[in-house]
Structure 1
Amino acid sequence: MIQVGQILFILSVLVILHEFGHYITARMFKVRVEKFYLFMDAGFSLLKKKIGDTEWGIGWLPIGGYVKLAGMVDESMDMEQMKQEPQPWEFRSKPAWQRLIIMLGGIIVNILLAWFLYTVVYTTYGQKYVSTEKIQKNGLSFGETGLHAGFQNGDRILSVDGVHQARFNRLVLDALLGDNIEIERNGEKKTIVLTDEHKAEILSKEGRGFVGARNQLSQVIIDSVTPVKNKPSVFMAGDQIKAFGNKSFFYFDQLTDELKKHKNQTVQLTVLRNETPVTLALPVDKDGNVGFGETVFFGPSLEMTDSFVNEVVSGSEAEKAKVQKNDIITGFDNKEFKQFSEFKSELKKSADKDITLNIIRDSKKMALPAHVGSDGKLGFGLASKNQPSYEIVNKLSLGEAFPEAVKESWQLLIYNVKQFKLILRPKTEAYKHVKSPVGIARALPDTWNWEFIWNFTALFSIGLAFMNLLPIPGLDGGHALFTIAEMITGKTLSEKAMGHVQTAGMIILLTLMALTFGNDIYQLVVDKLL
Structure 2
Amino acid sequence: METFLIRALQLIMSLSLLVVIHEGGHFLFARLFKVRVEKFCLFFDPWFTLFKFKPKKSDTEYAVGWLPLGGYVKISGMIDESMDTEQMKQPEQPWEFRSKPAWQRLLIMVGGVLFNFLLALFIYSMILFAWGDQYIKVQEAPLGMDFNETAKAAGFQDGDILLSADDVAFERYDGDMLSRIADARVVSVLRDGQQASVYIPEDFMQRLLADSVRFASFRFPYVVDSVRVNSPAAQAGFLRGDSIVALDGKSISFPDFVAAMADRKKNEAALLKDSIDSRLIALTYVRAGVTDTLTMRVDSAYLMGITPFTPDRLLPMVKKTYGFLESFPAGVNLGVKTLKGYVNNMKYLFSKEGAKQLGGFGTIGSIFPATWDWHQFWYMTAFLSIILAFMNILPIPALDGGHVLFLFYEIIARRKPSEKFMEYAQMTGMVLLFGLLIWANFNDILRFFF
Structure 2 residue aligned with 1:434: 358
Would you say 1:94 and 2:96 are equivalent positions?
Answer: no
Q: CA deviation at 1:166?
A: 1.8
Structure 1 residue aligned with 2:289: none
Q: CA deviation at 1:36?
A: 0.7
Question: Cα gap change, 1:250/1:116 in structure 2, threshold over 3 Å: closer, same or farther?
Answer: same
Question: Cα gap change, 1:19/1:211 in structure 2, threshold over 3 Å: closer, same or farther?
Answer: same
Question: Cα gap change, 1:219/1:272 in structure 2, threshold over 3 Å: closer, same or farther?
Answer: farther
Looking at structure 1, the residues matched to 380 and 296 of structure 2 have their Cα atoms a distance apart, in angstroms, of 47
Would you say 1:159 and 2:177 are equivalent positions?
Answer: no
Structure 1's unaligned 5+ residue stretches are: 221-237, 258-264, 281-295, 302-337, 342-381
> Equivalent of 1:108, from 98, 111, 114?
114
Q: CA deviation at 1:54?
A: 1.1
> Equivalent of 2:387, from 436, 455, 463?
463
Question: Cα gap change, 1:515/1:150 in structure 2, threshold over 3 Å: closer, same or farther?
Answer: same
Q: Quick check: 1:436–1:516 contact (8 Å CA) kept in 2?
A: yes
Counterpart amino acid of residue 344 in structure 2: K
- Where in structure 2 are the equivalents of 1:265-414 lying within 5 Å? 271-272=281-282, 276-277=294-295, 339-340=306-307, 383=310, 388-414=314-340
Counterpart amino acid of residue 418 in structure 2: S
Counterpart amino acid of residue 389 in structure 2: A
> Equivalent of 1:75, from 81, 94, 102?
81
Looking at structure 2, the residues matched to 424 and 442 of structure 1 have their Cα atoms a distance apart, in angstroms, of 23
Q: Quick check: 1:179–1:193 contact (8 Å CA) kept in 2?
A: yes
Q: CA deviation at 1:398?
A: 1.6
Counterpart amino acid of residue 93 in structure 2: Q
Counterpart amino acid of residue 156 in structure 2: F
Looking at structure 2, the residues matched to 40 and 149 of structure 1 have their Cα atoms a distance apart, in angstroms, of 47
Structure 2's unaligned 5+ residue stretches are: 226-237, 239-243, 261-270, 285-292
Would you say 1:44 and 2:48 are equivalent positions?
Answer: yes
Looking at structure 2, the residues matched to 517 and 40 of structure 1 have their Cα atoms a distance apart, in angstroms, of 18
Looking at structure 2, the residues matched to 217 and 115 of structure 1 have their Cα atoms a distance apart, in angstroms, of 39
| Structure 1 residue runs of 4 or more that deviate by more than 4 Å after TM superposition | 217-220, 250-257, 265-270, 273-276
Q: CA deviation at 1:412?
A: 0.8
- Where in structure 2 are the equivalents of 1:189-268 lying within 5 Å? 189-196=196-203, 198-207=204-213, 209-216=214-221, 242-244=246-248, 248-249=250-251, 251=253
Q: Quick check: 1:218–1:242 contact (8 Å CA) kept in 2?
A: no
What RMSD, in angstroms, separates the aligned Cα atoms of the two structures?
A: 3.5
Partner secondary structure for residue 174 of structure 2: helix
> Equivalent of 1:415, from 305, 316, 341?
341
Percent identity over paired residues: 37
Q: CA deviation at 1:470?
A: 0.9
Counterpart amino acid of residue 23 in structure 1: F
Higher strand share: 1
Per-residue CA deviation, residues 402-450 of structure 1 (Å, 9 max, x unaligned), is 0010001101111111121111233xx0221222222221342232221
Q: Quick check: 1:177–1:418 contact (8 Å CA) kept in 2?
A: no
Counterpart amino acid of residue 32 in structure 1: R
Looking at structure 1, the residues matched to 75 and 139 of structure 2 have their Cα atoms a distance apart, in angstroms, of 52
Question: Cα gap change, 1:17/1:396 in structure 2, threshold over 3 Å: closer, same or farther?
Answer: same
Structure 2 residue aligned with 1:488: 412
Would you say 1:2 and 2:9 are equivalent positions?
Answer: no
Question: Cα gap change, 1:140/1:133 in structure 2, threshold over 3 Å: closer, same or farther?
Answer: same
Looking at structure 1, the residues matched to 246 and 277 of structure 2 have their Cα atoms a distance apart, in angstroms, of 11
Q: CA deviation at 1:521?
A: 3.8
The normalised TM-score by structure 2 is 0.80
Partner secondary structure for residue 205 of structure 1: coil
Q: CA deviation at 1:61?
A: 0.6
Q: Quick check: 2:120–2:385 contact (8 Å CA) kept in 1?
A: yes
Looking at structure 2, the residues matched to 384 and 151 of structure 1 have their Cα atoms a distance apart, in angstroms, of 22
Q: CA deviation at 1:129?
A: 2.7
Would you say 1:35 and 2:35 are equivalent positions?
Answer: no
Q: CA deviation at 1:175?
A: 4.7
Length, aligned pairs only: 403
Q: CA deviation at 1:340?
A: 2.4
Per-residue CA deviation, residues 349-405 of structure 1 (Å, 9 max, x unaligned), is xxxxxxxxxxxxxxxxxxxxxxxxxxxxxxxxx6489x5234332120122110010
Q: CA deviation at 1:487?
A: 1.3
Q: Quick check: 2:134–2:317 contact (8 Å CA) kept in 1?
A: yes
Q: CA deviation at 1:78?
A: 1.2
> Equivalent of 1:19, from 23, 39, 42?
23
The normalised TM-score by structure 1 is 0.68
Counterpart amino acid of residue 281 in structure 2: V
Q: Quick check: 2:6–2:370 contact (8 Å CA) kept in 1?
A: yes
Q: Which moved more, 1:6-15 or 1:50-59?
A: 50-59
Structure 2 residue aligned with 1:504: 428
Q: Which moved more, 1:124-133 or 1:160-169?
A: 160-169
Partner secondary structure for residue 340 of structure 2: helix
Looking at structure 1, the residues matched to 306 and 297 of structure 2 have their Cα atoms a distance apart, in angstroms, of 21
Would you say 1:118 and 2:124 are equivalent positions?
Answer: yes
Q: Quick check: 2:220–2:311 contact (8 Å CA) kept in 1?
A: no
Which has the bigger relative contact order, CA under 8 A and spacing at least 6?
2
Higher helix share: 2
Q: CA deviation at 1:34?
A: 1.0
Looking at structure 1, the residues matched to 108 and 185 of structure 2 have their Cα atoms a distance apart, in angstroms, of 42
Q: Quick check: 1:217–1:252 contact (8 Å CA) kept in 2?
A: yes
Q: Quick check: 1:165–1:171 contact (8 Å CA) kept in 2?
A: no
Looking at structure 2, the residues matched to 443 and 410 of structure 1 have their Cα atoms a distance apart, in angstroms, of 21
Q: CA deviation at 1:142?
A: 1.1
Q: Which moved more, 1:141-150 or 1:64-73?
A: 141-150
Looking at structure 2, the residues matched to 148 and 470 of structure 1 have their Cα atoms a distance apart, in angstroms, of 37
